[in-house]
């Protein structure tokens, strides 16, 4: 007995099989095209800092130097290196977000990488310091034009002087935290930004504020010298109070709903240093006025306020100035 079939049905079934095969084939292709964000374990909204931190963590774990018995170590590392090279670059990241890897056909970087020691000791040296903001080309202009005062360290990962400065820069950043913003730019990653800012040696330290030309630091690299230089640019106001201005200064602030934080410097006790007073003024700008009084020259005024030793007190708006115990909050004594 012969088997009969309809030619038209055969052609239709063949087309269906072909379409199904193509669908499965495309699904396999898509499944093997690993997403750059997933490779690094970050989201599409991650900041540059978060991307660097994620890559560094993976680099230290997956680097071929640490995996000599893994035949796939080199190829695995190339994948995360390629992902980082794309996502760290503002323009490439935009292309990737819009078109995927096919939008990067004219840029095939990421084929070379550094030794494990580089990623351990030289890569992202300030990323774990909360007081120091590592700025890239995408973030830099918005930051320094924000109206805040910035002191920025332009460094190169391979620069020994940059590494020598790093511990001091960290201590300095903690010292002035709240007075100004401390930044860092990795010129190894952002060569174009550093060239645009006229940086041709490392480390180069610049003060930035919106509306003024950048000021380069030329002093020695001690914490004390850095603090002294920075404080010259901090717009903090600490008022020296005395008999001639005390009542008017206090009442004017009280009328505006602003209190006073006043350090009284006398014999014994704790008289806040001028630097500490400036720091407090910067941190409390617009909230509280900061002042100080020398009780050696303003003896009668200090006595009228019941001040007998160095102390710092807060006077809230409406405080009665001749009754210290009831009208102020004693902070340091």
Taking only the tens place, the pLDDT of each residue in 84-96 is 999 988 889 999 9
The DSSP 8-state label assigned to residue 5 in this structure reads: -
More confident residue, 319 or 26: 319
The β-bridge partners of 263 are 292, 312
Query: What is the CB-side half-sphere exposure of residue 120 using CA atoms within 13 A?
Result: 9
| Residue 254 scores a pLDDT above 70 | yes
DSSP β-bridge partners for residue 177? 180
Q: Which two tokens stand for residue 27?
A: 């699904």
CA distance to 30, 202, 271, per residue, from 106 (Å): 21, 32, 64
Q: State how beta strands 329-332 and 311-315 pair.
A: antiparallel
Query: Which strands form 150-155's sheet, in the order they lie side by side?
Result: 132-134, 181-186, 150-155, 204-208, 215-216
Most confident of the following: 100-114, 220-234, 278-292:
220-234
Q: What's the predicted TM-score (pTM) here? A: 0.67
- 133-232 shares its CATH topology with 238-332: yes
Percent of the chain with pLDDT over 90: 61
Whether the CB-CB separation of 263 and 292 falls below 8 Å is answered with yes
* Residue 242 confidence (pLDDT): 95
The pLDDT assigned to 330 comes to 55
For the cut 90, the answer to whether the pLDDT of residue 284 exceeds it is no
Q: 101-115, 188-202, 232-246 — which is least confidently predicted? A: 101-115
Q: Give the integer Cα–Cα distance in Å for 49 and 135.
A: 8
**Spatial distance between the Cα atoms of 264 and 267, rounded to a whole number of angstroms:** 10
pLDDT, tens digit, 9 for 90 and up, residues 198-208: 999 999 999 99
Residue 24 pLDDT more than 50?
no
Q: Residue 150: in which H helix or E strand, if any?
A: strand 150-155
Share of the chain above pLDDT 70, in %: 85
47 pLDDT more than 60: yes
The tokens describing 58, both together, are 């993976």
Average pLDDT of the chain is 85
**Would you identify the CATH topology of the domain 36-122?**
Helix Hairpins (1.10.287)
- State the average pLDDT over residues 172-195: 92
pLDDT at 124: 85
Q: Please give the average per-residue pLDDT across 32-44, as a whole number.
A: 85
Per-residue CA distances from 283 to 2, 9, 98, 176, 277 (Å) = 96, 81, 42, 10, 10
Q: Averaged over 234-239, what is the pLDDT?
A: 86
- The domain limits of the chain are 36-122, 133-232, 238-332
Q: What is the DSSP letter of 89?
A: S
Q: Using CA atoms, how far apart are residues 279 and 266, in angstroms rounded to an integer? A: 21
Helices (H), the chain: 7-32, 36-40, 48-62, 73-87, 90-99, 116-117, 137-144, 160-175, 191-196, 223-231, 246-255, 274-283, 299-304, 324-327
Of the chain, the end-to-end C-alpha distance in Å amounts to 113
Strand partners, 216: 206
What is the Cα–Cα distance from 26 to 157, expressed in whole angstroms?
A: 43
> Structure tokens of 135?
């700025």
Q: Above 50 in pLDDT, residue 229? A: yes
**234 — pLDDT class (breaks 50, 70, 90):** confident
For residue 324, what pLDDT band results from cuts at 50, 70 and 90?
A: very low
Q: Which of 136 and 151 is assigned the larger pLDDT? A: 151
* Amino acid 22: pLDDT: 40
CB of 314 closer than 8 Å to CB of 329: yes
How far is the C-alpha of 326 from the C-alpha of 319, rounded, in Å? 8
* pLDDT for 21: 43
Topology given in CATH for the domain delimited by 133-232: Glutaredoxin (3.40.30)
Which superfamily is assigned to 238-332 in CATH?
A: Glutaredoxin (3.40.30.10)
């Amino acid at each position: 007995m012969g088997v009969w079939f309809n030619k038209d049905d055969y052609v239709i079934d063949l087309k269906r099989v072909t379409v199904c095969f193509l669908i499965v084939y495309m699904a396999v292709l898509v499944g093997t095209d690993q997403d750059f964000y997933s490779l690094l374990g970050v989201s599409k909204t991650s900041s540059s800092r978060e991307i660097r931190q994620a890559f560094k963590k993976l680099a230290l774990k997956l680097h071929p130097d640490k995996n000599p018995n893994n035949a796939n170590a080199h190829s695995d590392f190339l994948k995360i290196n390629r992902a980082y090279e794309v996502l760290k670059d503002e323009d490439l990241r935009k292309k990737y977000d819009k078109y995927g890897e096919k939008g990067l056909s004219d840029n095939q970087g990421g084929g070379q990488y550094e030794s494990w020691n580089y990623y351990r000791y030289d890569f992202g040296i300030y990323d774990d310091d909360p007081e120091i903001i590592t700025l890239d080309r995408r973030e830099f202009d918005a930051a320094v034009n924000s109206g805040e005062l910035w002191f920025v360290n332009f460094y190169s990962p391979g620069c020994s002087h940059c590494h020598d400065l790093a511990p001091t820069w960290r201590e300095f950043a903690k010292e002035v935290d709240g007075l100004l913003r401390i930044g860092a730019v990795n010129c190894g990653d952002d060569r174009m930004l550093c060239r645009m800012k006229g940086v041709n040696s490392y480390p180069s330290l610049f003060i930035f504020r919106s509306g003024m030309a950048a000021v380069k630091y030329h002093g020695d690299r001690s914490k004390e010298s850095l603090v002294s230089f920075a404080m010259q640019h901090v717009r903090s106001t600490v008022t020296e109070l005395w008999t001639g201005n005390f009542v008017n200064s206090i009442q004017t602030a009280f009328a505006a709903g602003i209190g006073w934080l006043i350090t009284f410097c006398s014999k014994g006790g704790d008289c806040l240093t001028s630097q500490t007073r400036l720091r407090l003024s910067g941190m409390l700008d617009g909230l509280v006025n900061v002042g100080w009084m020398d009780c050696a020259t303003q003896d009668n005024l200090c006595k009228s306020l019941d001040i007998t030793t160095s102390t710092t007190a807060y006077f809230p708006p409406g405080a009665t100035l001749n009754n210290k115990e009831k009208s102020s909050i004693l902070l340091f004594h």
